[in-house]
Amino acid sequence: MSEHSSGAGRMAADTADLARLFSTPPGLGRLAAVNHSVIGRRFILVSILFFIIGGLLAMLLRAQLAIPGNEFLDADAYNQIFTMHGTVMMFLFAIPLIEGLSLYFIPKYLGARDLCFPRLSAFGFWCYLFGGLILLGSMLAGVAPDSGWFMYTPLSSGQYSPGINADVWLIGVTFVEVSAIAFGIELVATVLKVRTGGMSLSRMPLFGWYILITALMMVVGFPPLILGSILLEIERAFQWPFFDAALGGDPLLWQHLFWLFGHPEVYIIFLPAAAVVSMMVPTFARRPLAGYNWVVGSVVATGFISFGLWVHHMFTVGIPHLALVFFSAASMFVALPTAIQFFAWLTTLWRGRPVRRLPMLYLFGFLFIFVCGGLTGVMLALVPFNWQAHDTHFVVAHLHYVLIGGFVFPLLAALYYWLPLVSGRRIQGWLGSWAFWLIFIGFNLTFFHMHLTGLVGMPRRVYTYGEGLGWEWLNLASSVGGFVLTAGFAALLIDVVVQVRSGQRTESNPWNAGTLEWAMDHPPQVYNFASLPKVSSREPLWDQPGLEEELRAGTHYLARTRNGWQETLGVNPISGRPDQIILLPGPSYLPLVTASMLLVFFLGFLLGFYWISAAGAIAALVCGLRWAWTCGLDRDLPEQDAGRGLKLPVHAQSPDPPGWWGTITGLVVNGTFYITLLFGYLYLWAVAPGWPPESFIETPPLLPLLTGLAAVLAAGGLHRAVIFNGDGRTGRRLALVASTVLGLVTSVGCLWQIVSGLPAPTGHAYAAVTTFLLGYCGLHGLMTGIIAFYCWLRIRAGFVSALRSLDLRVGRLWAMYTACVVVVSLGLVHTLPVLIGASG
């Protein structure tokens, strides 16, 4: 296809083969798609559909509130609609759009051909789609969730919401969160491992940094909500009183768990938007971003601080003022990292030679609106002011300034910025600017004076209001503004559709950007790069002239195809030095099948068919193991030529493959879940009313000791297996058999303690939470046994050698984690009643 100055055909990249290898099969085969561009596009399209649905719901709300005493919607309909508006926008629009954007662009920014776990992101897509359809279906059936998108207990518990509505929320959202977890694992491992040669951390585009931190925040931020949802669903389904104050539970535990997730969530949404701003500003300023290190530092700082301010959603629940001061301070100081980013962008523009193009208009909208939202956020962080403004329309205005200003506007800018790349069409301005002004004016007309609506006393979530309270004009203006805003979005949608369908072909790199995604064809090929670039700067297209032609000519890495492999580079996470060739999986139905089994699990639970649900869970586990079985190699291979004189091992033979990083990230998810569970356990002991319970756990002391010992020895067995395997000694299979048995013993030991030692979990939150904790340990013991047996099978089938040891190392890590949680949990469960129970 391409010619190279050296003239030798041998040098050209195998673009035809690459296109064939990376392509998605036609027809029904599309269901097997795993390519990151395809999955990313699907995420983006579905999330935009949900945005339209969420927007239409908002129109219904504004129509209802336009005049006092309106009878357009009744209370039930209004409550379902506002709950669904929030839920759809947060969980089905914002997060999935970020996921889609990152899945689509991260490999393109990092100079890779795909993500490291393409099937995992396909799996995430199906989970997202199924969960979203469950929520959407409930709305069509008129049984949508109606307790508000933060589902406060006890309003959302069985006694006060007996219908299926709340279950739909808990199960639908949890299903969608599975995709967020999958995304977090995928992106942490990809950004750290799957970059092109020479892209050290300090040369990584800021987009990579932002998404890395966002993915880490998702990994740590979502488990508390997943835990909370599981506990609440168990309470609703089986009457275990985790949140019931009459039986030793505490409704505030839900609020802590929800906002432990809920506040980081705001930054999870904002950071990727700031990421695209950080990519556009240098392009339009025509110079590199000022203060790269400052921005990286501020993104990391945001990630940390955002986990320390969840209580600012709870300033009115009666927490001592002194404790509130800490959260008030944290809530204010989280503004600093954002201020740093703003001044970095402003400095870049000021120092550069800005060109004023359409995306810049949207960036101005972002600047104005988001600064306002940030400042009202500082206002709300002030405790006494919060006591007045909390739960009023002031907060509604604030959060829309933050989310529309800080998320939607940057992404609209990004939409126009990347449209030439993704569609291959040139951008023409006028309708886009009209759309901007409609959106900008409509937005402010809806929300600016809504701050005042709240301060003159209008609470949020009221389906109607009386005359004479001074709210009439404020509400009418907001409703009119809402319709202008909608007209703006409609204009934008038309503009984009027209341009994509009938725009002129764009020239290459029309904005003259410096980052790698513009080195691809417009629209990009399925394999992204014909050869993977060796980069030596943060803006390779500015600093390495002729790079695009070199890539097409195949003079960089991995230009050749062989063995029908889909290849991309793996690098040392810090230095960016290539250290392996990652072989990517092709199209597969496994993600769809596994997600379908999960659908059986979730739907079974939702409808109360618990045996079907259990069957779905087992089937999903079997699918997962089958999936794991397809990874790895059954023989040792020599090092392979990677281009530019480099010889590299394939990833299955690397000591540091992406799977290892994925495993660690997955365990961080699990560990966060566990730590949150411990928090809940101790919180109930310390804070909940109605403690101590009538009786504590009673088992023979030998039982927990033996259970803990079995867990430790199971880990020891897997450790021996890894050592024997590395030394080429015999005995690894025997060690695995021992671990299998010991894992099962651990599991039985935990179960036995539940059955023989604990009162019924429905009687008191103590018994409920202790049962849950021991159940968690028992499940981990069981998984240790299964994994050890799986490793034994893998050895038998020849997938394990001294070079190919990942299976065993993953098993060992899991068993060690299990040993830790079993020992800590059993220690707490059996010593706390003695230490505190006796004195209480």
Q: Which of 72, 307, 368, 679 binds another protein (CB under 8 A)?
A: 368
| Closer residue to another protein, CB minimum distance, 586 or 690 | 690
Task: In angstroms, give the least distance from the CB of 538 to another protein.
Answer: 16
Task: In angstroms, give the least distance from the CB of 451 to another protein.
Answer: 8
Q: Give the span between the Cα atoms of 7 and 5, in whole angstroms.
A: 5
| Closer residue to another protein, CB minimum distance, 388 or 428 | 388
Q: Give the span between the Cα atoms of 664 and 311, in whole angstroms.
A: 29
Tell me how crowded residue 686 is: count the other CB atoms within 10 A of its CB.
Answer: 9
Coil, strand, or helix at residue 803? Answer: coil
| Closer residue to another protein, CB minimum distance, 72 or 817 | 72
Any residues with CB less than 8 A from the CB of 174 and at least 6 apart, and which? 131, 226, 229, 230, 233, 602
- What string of DSSP letters covers 155-217? TTSTTT--SSHHHHHHHHHHHHHHHHHHHHHHHHHHHHH---TT--GGGS-HHHHHHHHHHHH
Task: In angstroms, give the least distance from the CB of 357 to another protein.
Answer: 11
Any residues with CB less than 8 A from the CB of 788 and at least 6 apart, and which? 714, 717, 718, 736, 737, 739, 740, 743, 811, 815
CA geometry: angle 500, 502, 504, nearest 5 deg: 95
Question: Which residues partner with 532 through β-bridges?
Answer: 557
Cβ(236)–Cβ(169) below 8 Å:
no
Q: Provide the sign of the torsion angle of the four alpha carbons 244, 245, 246, 247, taken in this order.
A: positive
Q: Which of 190, 214, 298, 594 binds another protein (CB under 8 A)?
A: 298
| Closer residue to another protein, CB minimum distance, 722 or 765 | 765
Q: Which of residues 106-165 bind another protein (CB under 8 A)?
A: 147-148, 152, 154-155, 160
Q: Which of residues 300-319 bind another protein (CB under 8 A)?
A: 316-318
Q: Which of 72, 307, 364, 483 binds another protein (CB under 8 A)?
A: 364
Phi, psi (degrees; rounded to nearest 5) at 137: -60, -40
Tokens of 154: 């006890």
| Closer residue to another protein, CB minimum distance, 456 or 498 | 456
Q: Give the span between the Cα atoms of 112 and 89, in whole angstroms.
A: 31
Task: In angstroms, give the least distance from the CB of 347 to another protein.
Answer: 5
Torsion of CA 108, 111, 112, 117, to 10 degrees: -60
Task: In angstroms, give the least distance from the CB of 763 to another protein.
Answer: 17
Please tell me whether residue 455 binds another protein under the rule CB under 8 A. Answer: yes
Q: Give the span between the Cα atoms of 814 and 783, in whole angstroms.
A: 9
Name the segment binding another protein (CB under 8 A); options: 359-367, 510-518, 608-616, 672-680. 359-367
Q: Give the span between the Cα atoms of 5 and 14, in whole angstroms.
A: 17
| Closer residue to another protein, CB minimum distance, 375 or 607 | 375
| Closer residue to another protein, CB minimum distance, 165 or 670 | 165
Length of the chain: 840
Q: Which of 328, 479, 568, 740 binds another protein (CB under 8 A)?
A: 328
Q: Give the span between the Cα atoms of 794 and 522, in whole angstroms.
A: 44
Task: In angstroms, give the least distance from the CB of 193 to another protein.
Answer: 31
| Closer residue to another protein, CB minimum distance, 263 or 357 | 357
| Closer residue to another protein, CB minimum distance, 330 or 806 | 330
Question: Which residues partner with 583 through β-bridges?
Answer: 567
Please tell me whether residue 323 binds another protein under the rule CB under 8 A. Answer: no
Task: In angstroms, give the least distance from the CB of 143 to another protein.
Answer: 14
Q: Which of residues 470-509 bind another protein (CB under 8 A)?
A: 470-471, 473-474
Task: In angstroms, give the least distance from the CB of 405 to another protein.
Answer: 11
Task: In angstroms, give the least distance from the CB of 82 to another protein.
Answer: 9
**Separate counts of helices (H) and strands (E) for the chain:** 28, 4
| Closer residue to another protein, CB minimum distance, 294 or 752 | 294
Q: Which of residues 54-113 bind another protein (CB under 8 A)?
A: 74-76, 79
Task: In angstroms, give the least distance from the CB of 383 to another protein.
Answer: 4
| Closer residue to another protein, CB minimum distance, 468 or 546 | 468
| Closer residue to another protein, CB minimum distance, 316 or 428 | 316
Distances (CA, A) of 162 to 75, 165, 705, 717: 17, 8, 42, 48
Q: Which of residues 503-562 bind another protein (CB under 8 A)?
A: none
Give 425's DSSP letter: B
Task: In angstroms, give the least distance from the CB of 464 to another protein.
Answer: 5
Any residues with CB less than 8 A from the CB of 436 and at least 6 apart, and which? 358, 361, 362, 365, 412, 488
| Closer residue to another protein, CB minimum distance, 393 or 830 | 393
Name the segment binding another protein (CB under 8 A); options: 125-133, 196-204, 270-278, 336-344. 336-344
Cβ(23)–Cβ(512) below 8 Å:
no
Q: Which of 4, 286, 426, 461 binds another protein (CB under 8 A)?
A: 461
Scanning the structure block, which residue is given the tokens 């109607």? 464
Task: In angstroms, give the least distance from the CB of 211 to another protein.
Answer: 22
Q: Which of 324, 438, 516, 650 binds another protein (CB under 8 A)?
A: 324
Cβ(668)–Cβ(218) below 8 Å:
no
Please tell me whether residue 635 binds another protein under the rule CB under 8 A. Answer: no
Q: Which of 16, 141, 456, 607 binds another protein (CB under 8 A)?
A: 456
Q: Which of residues 791-820 bind another protein (CB under 8 A)?
A: none
Q: Which of residues 684-743 bind another protein (CB under 8 A)?
A: 688-690
| Closer residue to another protein, CB minimum distance, 83 or 672 | 83
Cβ(605)–Cβ(172) below 8 Å:
no
**Pattern 408-447, binding to another protein, x per CB under 8 A?**
----------------------------------------
Question: Residue ranges of the alpha helices (H) in 287-334?
Answer: 292-305, 321-333
Whole-angstrom distance between the N-terminal and C-terminal Cα of the chain? 80
Q: Which of residues 338-357 bind another protein (CB under 8 A)?
A: 339-344, 346-347, 349-351, 353-354, 356
Closest CA to 535 of 553, 513, 550, 552: 550
Scanning the structure block, which residue is given the tokens 């402003």? 346
Tell me how crowded residue 26 is: count the other CB atoms within 10 A of its CB.
Answer: 7
Scanning the structure block, which residue is given the tokens 């079995």? 710
Task: In angstroms, give the least distance from the CB of 265 to another protein.
Answer: 19
Asked if the peptide bond before residue 154 counts as cis, ω within 30 degrees of 0, the response is yes
Q: Which of residues 19-38 bind another protein (CB under 8 A)?
A: none
Name the segment binding another protein (CB under 8 A); options: 262-270, 328-336, 420-428, 555-563. 328-336
> How many residues form the binding site for another protein (CB under 8 A)?
89
Phi, psi (degrees; rounded to nearest 5) at 425: -110, 155
| Closer residue to another protein, CB minimum distance, 10 or 353 | 353
Q: Which of residues 206-235 bind another protein (CB under 8 A)?
A: none
Q: Which of residues 376-405 bind another protein (CB under 8 A)?
A: 376, 378-379, 382-392
Tell me how crowded residue 169 is: count the other CB atoms within 10 A of its CB.
Answer: 29
Q: Provide the sign of the torsion angle of the four alpha carbons 359, 362, 364, 370, taken in this order.
A: negative
| Closer residue to another protein, CB minimum distance, 391 or 521 | 391
Task: In angstroms, give the least distance from the CB of 549 to another protein.
Answer: 32
Q: Which of 25, 162, 163, 457 binds another protein (CB under 8 A)?
A: 457
Closest CA to 217 of 257, 258, 184: 184
Q: Which of residues 234-273 bind another protein (CB under 8 A)?
A: 245-246, 250-252
Task: In angstroms, give the least distance from the CB of 440 to another protein.
Answer: 12
| Closer residue to another protein, CB minimum distance, 24 or 762 | 762
| Closer residue to another protein, CB minimum distance, 462 or 574 | 462
Task: Name the CA radius of gyration of the chain, rounded.
Answer: 28
